[in-house]
A = this chain, B = another copy of it.
């Protein structure tokens, strides 16, 4: 079964060999992305750059997309962590998350040129979703409200808005965009929290 595959399985795999392999694959892909488009990169190239065997790749990820998603999720998580997002001050959190998404798109995906067509939604959105669910634990909701649905909806809204911003030729500053996103997305939560 393909579902038995769990590349993002961070827990219970401390074997230094697998950590090293996955890290090198991500680094390799990141380096290659500065020179070529994602679609033009073969798994052979990735493993060559990583000085690993091609078969080793398939020991960790089912395909190229899975590696991209794992890499993106890791890097985005890292960017958020570096900023020390404190979930206690809930007011700034939404804007900070929006800014994080904008910054990530601008700084990483922007490397080679315009590769906005990469399947990043599968990596960034779940992370944002998780952050909202963390934050939702601190709130009491009105009875009929599903916090997870709220988190999903907000995460997709933020990513969609940030993605449009990133694809725009003459972008406004990320901070400005984050403020706009906050203004749009905040009301989603207001209908539920009390």
Inter-subunit contact B152/A160 (CB<8 Å)? yes
Query: Which of the 9-residue segments A11-19, A28-36, A43-51, A179-187 touches chain B?
Result: A179-187
A150 to B180 alpha-carbon distance, docked (Å): 10
- Whether A156 and B161, one on each chain, are in contact in the complex, defined by CB atoms closer than 8 angstroms, is yes
Find out whether the CB atom of A185 lies under 8 angstroms from the CB atom of B121: no
Residues on the B chain within 8 Å of A165, using CB:
149
Interface size class of A (residues with CB under 8 A): 20 to 34
The complex is assembled from copies of this chain, and their number is 2
Residues of B within 8 A of A188 (CB): 157, 184-185, 187-188
In the complex, per-residue mask of A145-180: 1 if CB is within 8 Å of any chain B CB, else 0: 010111011111101110111000000000000001
Is A190 interfacial (CB 8 A cutoff)?
A: yes
Tell me the minimal C-beta distance from A126 to chain B in angstroms.
Answer: 11
Interface flag for A119 (CB, 8 Å) = yes
The answer to the question of A191 belonging to the interface, with a C-beta cut-off of 8 Å to chain B, is yes
Q: Are A155 and B148 in contact (CB under 8 A)?
A: no
The chain A residues found within 8 Å of chain B, CB to CB, are 119, 121, 125, 146, 148-150, 152-157, 159-161, 163-165, 180-181, 183-185, 187-188, 190-191
